């Protein structure tokens, strides 16, 4: 019997061709509305919700995986973690150029984690943001560790010894996925078709993970960032459990260290007692 195909390391650190995306005020406003974002600058389309940064790079995101991950494993792939580093907010009229490369993977008994690094620049070649996306292939252990994974952002458990600085509860609307999908350009059927979701082993349609990260983004900004997206330097999360339309999520925020004019905040998000987003990290300029 032939051995099951493995990840191909020859595809690592190979950058895709650049893709171009023109940012319009209307698209930014649609994204804010689709994520229930109350921040006035986002609602007016003057600056984007930070997680809108996934939209211009979406086309480039999966291309590197095609060169590394065997095609028959794509049906097992989940979005495990998302880590944004912001150099400036996205604004209307930007023409953004994005490219991506897979940088490494790590096999483990329950699956293999693989990292895609994305760069998003303006027309002058200046970085607007960088992203590390961790993809997780369920139930497939590649049996080795090659290259580099995303930077660490694990929750500092010692922070639980102090009182949180804020907590915010947000409602996920029944039609949230139907609004988010078109606004983000994400047509994945598990977010839109109940039968497909159930056939995939889910309880039904689930909310987009990035939509929930966008909720936490505006939650953190309103609670500890003065609703000013220009102060946000990093936003990272690990997606732990799916969120269903109609549920309430509560994000609890702890203040971490402060150095060089940047304060870190650690957070986690729950539905009831269940953690759905963990290892949340925000770095905000003072």
pLDDT of 202 reads: 85
pLDDT of 197 reads: 87
pLDDT, mean of residues 148-172: 97
Q: How confident is the model at residue 169 (pLDDT cuts 50, 70, 90)?
A: very high
Which percentage of the chain shows pLDDT scores above 90?
90
- Has residue 1 got a pLDDT over 60? no
Range of 76's domain? 9-285
- Has residue 2 got a pLDDT over 50? no
Give, to the nearest 10 degrees, the angle between helix 54-61 and helix 176-184. Answer: 70
Angle at the Cα of 135 from the Cα atoms of 132 and 141, rounded to 5 degrees: 130
- Has residue 118 got a pLDDT over 50? yes
| 2 domain-assigned | no
Return mean pLDDT, the chain.
Answer: 95
User: How does pLDDT run across 187-224, given as a tens digit for each residue?
Assistant: 888 899 999 888 888 899 999 999 999 999 999 999 99
How far is CA 230 from each of CA 68, 73, 83, 183, 238, rounded to the nearest angstrom? Answer: 35, 39, 17, 22, 23
pLDDT, mean of residues 72-99: 95
| 74 domain-assigned | yes
pLDDT of 3 reads: 65
Which are the contacts of 155, defined by CB distance < 8 A and separation ≥ 6? Answer: 266, 268, 278, 279, 280, 281
pLDDT of 187 reads: 85
| 3 domain-assigned | no
pLDDT, mean of residues 225-243: 97
Check residues 3 and 94 and name the one with the higher pLDDT. 94
Q: Specify the number of domains making up the chain.
A: 1
* Listed range (11-25, 62-76, 83-97) with the worst mean pLDDT: 62-76
pLDDT, mean of residues 233-245: 97
CA pair distance 83, 133, nearest whole angstrom: 6
Coil vs helix vs strand at 5: coil
Q: What is the CATH number of the domain that holds 110?
A: 3.10.129.10
Nearest to 67 by CA among 98, 96, 105: 105
| 244 domain-assigned | yes
- Has residue 75 got a pLDDT over 90? no
pLDDT, mean of residues 134-139: 94
pTM: 0.95
User: How does pLDDT run across 25-39, given as a tens digit for each residue?
Assistant: 999 999 999 999 999
Q: How confident is the model at residue 104 (pLDDT cuts 50, 70, 90)?
A: very high
pLDDT of 216 reads: 98
């Amino acid at each position: 019997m032939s051995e099951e195909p493995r990840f191909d390391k020859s595809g690592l650190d190979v950058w895709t061709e650049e893709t171009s995306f023109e940012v319009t005020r209307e698209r930014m406003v649609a994204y804010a509305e689709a994520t229930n974002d109350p921040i006035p600058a986002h609602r007016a389309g003057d600056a984007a919700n930070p997680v809108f940064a996934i939209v211009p790079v979406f086309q480039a995101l999966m291309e590197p995986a095609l060169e590394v991950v065997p095609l028959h494993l794509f049906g097992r792939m989940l979005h495990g973690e998302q880590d944004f580093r912001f150099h400036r907010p996205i604004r209307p009229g930007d023409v953004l150029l994005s490219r991506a490369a897979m940088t490494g993977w790590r096999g483990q008994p329950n699956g293999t984690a693989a990292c895609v690094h994305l760069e998003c620049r303006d027309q002058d070649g200046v970085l607007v943001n960088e992203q590390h996306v961790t993809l997780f292939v369920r139930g497939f252990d590649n049996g080795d560790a090659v290259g580099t994974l995303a930077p660490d952002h694990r929750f500092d458990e010692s922070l639980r010894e102090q009182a949180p600085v804020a907590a915010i509860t947000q409602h996920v609307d029944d039609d949230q996925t139907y609004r988010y999908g078109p606004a983000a350009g994400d047509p994945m059927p598990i977010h839109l078709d109940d039968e497909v979701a159930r056939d995939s082993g889910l309880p039904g349609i689930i909310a987009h993970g990035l939509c929930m990260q966008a909720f936490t983004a505006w939650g953190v900004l309103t609670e500890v960032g003065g609703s000013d997206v220009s102060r946000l330097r990093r936003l990272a999360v690990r997606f732990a459990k799916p969120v269903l339309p109609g549920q309430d999520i509560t994000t609890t925020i702890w203040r971490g260290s402060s150095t060089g004019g940047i304060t870190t905040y650690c957070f986690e998000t729950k539905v009831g007692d269940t953690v759905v987003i963990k290892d949340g990290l925000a770095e905000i300029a003072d």
